[in-house]
Structure formats: C-alpha cells, structure tokens
Amino acid sequence: MPHTTKPFLMLHLGLGSFHRAHQALYLHQLQQSGDTRWALAGGNIRPDMAETIDALIAQNGAYTLETVTPQGERTYTRITSIQTVVRHDPMLSGLIRLGADPHTRILSFTVTEAGYYLDAANRLDLANFTDLRADLDAARAGQPGATIYGALAPEVRRTESERFNSGQADILVATDAIGMGLNLPIRRVIFSHIHKFDGVASRMLNMTEVRQIAGRAGRFGIYETGYVNVLENDELIHIEHMLSVDDTADLRKLPININMLQIETIAARLHTRKIAEILQHHQERVHFEHTLFELAPLNTQISQALLVDEYAPNMSLRDKYIFVCAPISLNVAFERDYYLLCLQSVAESKLRHLPPRPIWLDSASPKHLEQAELLSHNLSLYAWLSFKFPQFFVDGNQVMTLRQQVSRYIERALLTQAGYGNTSREIDYLMTTGR
C-alpha cells in the first residue's frame, strides 16, 4: 500500500540492540512490502550508547542487521525503517518535541523483565537467596559491591548499575532481571542458582533465560571474551546444556491490541457496558490472518476488567479501558487494594492525593524495606494515572520527589541489613552433615 504523504511516526525510547533486531526489522519488512504509512523515530532517555547514536545519525538511521542461525549461518539485512534519531539531552527536549508532533501516533519502549526472587506469597524471598547477603558481606569486608533485583524501584536499579558502571563497585549481585536491558562492562557471570520462581512455582532457568543472563559476560571494546561459571559444580551441566541447545523462537508476527473503536462497536452489538464481556468476546470471536500481525492475548486485561466492572459498573467504557491497561500486579494484595481506591476515586469523581509520606523514610532501620518497595509500586501507578486523569490525581508533579525519597531509603536499607539467616542450600548442607 504505497503512501505519498508524510508517514505517521512510531517514537521508540531505547535504540538498543533488542529494538534494532526486532521492532525496527518488522517495520522495515512492512515498508519493503509496499506499506510506507509508518516510520520510526527514536532516542535514549539515558546518556548511554553515544557512539551508536552518533553512527545512526551519520547513517540517517540506517544500519546492517546480522542474523546468526544455531548452525552458524549468517545473513545480513540493511534496515532503513528508522527515519529520525534523536541525540540525548538532559531535558529530553528532542524526544518531547517528537512526542508532541501530530504525526506521532505510537510511543513504544523496550521493557525489561522484573519482579523475580519472590516466595509463594509473592513477596521478596529474602530468606532463600544468598545474593543480597553476599553483597553485604563484601561491604563489611571492605570490598565494594552492588545489588540489583527486579522488584527494586527504577531509580534504585539505575543508581546501583551506575555504581558498577563507574567502577565504584567491583561486584554486581543481581537476579535474572540483569538478563535484559542492562549493558554493563561485565567480564564474568557466575550463576549462584539455576532456579527461579515464575509466579507459580520454582523451576530451572530455561535456555532463553540462561543465554540472556550469560550474554552479559563480555563487552565489545572492553572485554572481548566473556566467561560464565557456577558456584556449584553439579549445576554446571544444566548451564552448559542450556547454552548449547537451540532457543530460536518462532516470533514472526507483532501483537495488535484492541482499540476504543472496536470496544465501542462490540458494546453496541452486545448491548453491554461491561468491559470484561467486550474483551472476552473480542478474544473468542475476532480472528484475522496477516503476514506481520496477530491479535494480542487479553487474559491479563480481562482479569483487571472483571474488577473494574465489579467496583465501577457505571464508569464510561473509555475510562474503564484505561484502568484495564493500568500497570499493576493483581496478585499483590497491597497493589490491588490501592488500585481499587484509585478506581473508586475516578468512579465517584473525587480527588485523590499522593499516599502520605511515611515517617520511617528518615529511619536508618531496614525493617521497612518491603513497605518501601510496595509504596514505590503505588507511586508508579499514581504517576501513570495522573497523566490519564489529571483532574482527579492532582499531585502528579510531587511524585518524583517522594519516589526519590523512597528510593534513597531502599538504598540505605540494602546497605545496612544484617543478613537473612541460613539459605535453603545451607540448610540442605546442615541436614546432610548432621546425619
């Protein structure tokens, strides 16, 4: 479908390798098929990848993508879908200007995985993982260390990674959250565990997870060779096996979500104002075939939609759908309760202010660490809703200050905790030697 007028823009935040190997490639393929209605623009919200950004600007956004099969066969494709590359500036003025451009219709970003190392109650499993304690032990011995785990607030993760990146820390202790989205000068990756809790049960790391984590070892121009090892010899065979098998995923299509026009059309056809019924109908009845696109699964959104219909039955479909897309974890009771309070505020057209500042934020005690992490999640939801409903969530401009204070508390707590008792592996050893 040739298009002669100015194309619509997808503004992508984070022009890293993952984006250039996937989203930019898919749009390039769409353009090569003759549909030129869309183009990409992008940049980074952090001052990294300066050399790559400069090279993309010099090449007008074009680059060559190398694809390597498990058999070692290499193919090369020149990608030309990125029309505009924005150089970083502290105020993000270039990205803001593009975001406000009427031709920008989609804002996308690369998402990193987070929130692992949880116990059966979906809380941080501080008792069964040695990672954080190892970092504290290193600090007590006068050795620098840094801790990153998925449930940390973004500001804390950024601070800890920058400590390592700048050389202030020689050791970085992390969960598998490090496997995606973190580009750091790491020479050696050591697996302390080969299991993870996936929200349902503890299981062994799969081939993709092992490769993502192990792939952090080695950095072009700094460490040409990366090394991977384990703490326990009997776990090495699993890591070696996962690194040797083919983990190629057959991801050939981009997921497309339902839009408001479709929601309103289905609502009129079914004579319903229940957003859950509409989403279920769309998931079960709507089908289409396309070479590049497929329907996105709606299971998570339907779960939130059932809550929205129950607690705000008279809310408009547009407002319901906004809450259906809100970034929360329903299986975390604290987040779910706050989500329902926010939903109630909009349903009743009442103002909702920021959560009150806890007095323990000034404390040196680490005992409020879990509360701080949960509060950080609620602040993220408040910030998101303040953009959608600024007339009700009126303290959006104060979120950053409170979130920074919470992040500083978390950082202090991580440096002052006194350990978590025997780990599950140590208990196994004690039981074995005690027989």
Does the pLDDT at position 434 exceed 80?
Answer: no
What percent of the chain has a predicted confidence (pLDDT) above 70? 74
- Please answer whether residues 406 and 376 qualify as being in contact, where contact means their C-beta atoms are separated by less than 8 angstroms: yes
Domains in the chain with CATH codes: 8-109 (3.40.50.720), 131-244 (3.40.50.300), 254-416 (no CATH)
Average pLDDT for 285-289: 85
Average pLDDT for 210-223: 77
Angle at 265 between CA 261 and CA 270, to 5 degrees: 150
Average pLDDT for 406-424: 61
pLDDT-wise least confident of 87-96, 117-126, 184-193, 412-421: 117-126
The pLDDT of residue 127 is 54
The pLDDT of residue 307 is 93
Compute the chain's Rg from CA coordinates: 24
**150 alpha-carbon distance from chain centroid:** 9
102 or 21: which leads in pLDDT: 21
Q: Cα–Cα distance between 396 and 179 in angstroms, integer?
A: 32
pLDDT-wise least confident of 8-12, 53-57, 70-74, 141-145: 141-145
The pLDDT of residue 123 is 47
401 Cβ contact partners less than 8 Å away, ≥ 6 residues apart:
none
- Please answer whether residues 384 and 325 qualify as being in contact, where contact means their C-beta atoms are separated by less than 8 angstroms: no
pLDDT-wise least confident of 3-7, 279-283, 300-304: 3-7
Confidence of residue 253 (pLDDT cuts 50, 70, 90): confident
Dump pLDDT digits (tens) for 140-188: 554 544 444 444 555 556 666 676 677 766 677 676 666 655 667 788 8
Q: Cα–Cα distance between 375 and 46 in angstroms, integer?
A: 25
Confidence of residue 200 (pLDDT cuts 50, 70, 90): low
The pLDDT of residue 161 is 67
- Please answer whether residues 253 and 288 qualify as being in contact, where contact means their C-beta atoms are separated by less than 8 angstroms: no
Dump pLDDT digits (tens) for 259-278: 999 999 999 999 999 999 99
Dump pLDDT digits (tens) for 353-373: 998 899 888 887 878 887 888
Q: What are 78's strand-pairing partners? A: 64
Average pLDDT for 310-321: 95
Dump pLDDT digits (tens) for 81-107: 999 999 987 777 788 888 878 788 887
Does the pLDDT at position 254 exceed 90?
Answer: no
- Please answer whether residues 110 and 147 qualify as being in contact, where contact means their C-beta atoms are separated by less than 8 angstroms: no
Average pLDDT, the chain: 78
The pTM for the full model equals 0.52
Does the pLDDT at position 44 exceed 80?
Answer: yes
